[in-house]
Amino acid sequence: MKKNDIILILILMFVGIILFLGMTFYAKYTSSGNIYAKVFYKDELILMIDLQSNEYKIYDTIYKNQIDSGLASSGIFYVPGSLTNDMSELYLTDSYAKDNQIVGIKLQVSDSKISVTYQESPKDICELQNPTNSSLYPIVCLPNELLVSIYTNIVSDEFVPDAILE
């Protein structure tokens, strides 16, 4: 490698780091202080959760009956997943899921972050993603057709937990 090539690579790396830091700063600067997770299943918004209070809104979709929010006060939500059908492993550790015969993905909200704590997919890639509360790090679970996006620029008036549809 030539000296000029090395310098060009270093400059590009420096610019990349500056751009990433700039995006992070912009995300924090435009944040309203409220952090919400929007859960999409098969490209349709099915659930929105306030990550600080665990208040939620279930949207009126064909999937609304597949969402279980019985443990929402504890930050646990069950949502549908395309591949997640065998719940025997979850039933061993989750009596609520077993008693209610829940079938789907288990989401956990803790410390104002959301994560996937149970699902079925090749190599369990969905569970391996770190808990997030950043719009720069969504939870993407392609095998289960699930996406959890984080929004920090929604004003609290746009989130109306009183309109919960169950």
Domain shared by 134 and 115, yes or no:
yes
Give the range of the structural domain holding residue 20, as residue numbers without chain letter.
1-30
Domain shared by 20 and 77, yes or no:
no
24-34 per-position pLDDT tens digit: 777 666 655 68
Residue 20, burial from CB neighbour count under 10 angstroms (0-12, 13-18, 19+): exposed
Q: Domain total for the chain?
A: 2
Domain shared by 25 and 38, yes or no:
no
Domain shared by 109 and 44, yes or no:
yes
CA atoms of 130 and 106, how far apart (whole Å): 14
Helix (H, G, I), strand (E, B) or coil at 69: coil
Domain shared by 38 and 24, yes or no:
no
CA atoms of 147 and 47, how far apart (whole Å): 11
Tell me the HSE value of 23 on the side-chain side, using a 13 A CA sphere. 9
77-86 per-position pLDDT tens digit: 999 999 888 8
Decide: pTM greater than 0.95. no
Domain shared by 26 and 40, yes or no:
no
Statement: residue 40 has pLDDT above 70 = yes
CA atoms of 124 and 92, how far apart (whole Å): 18
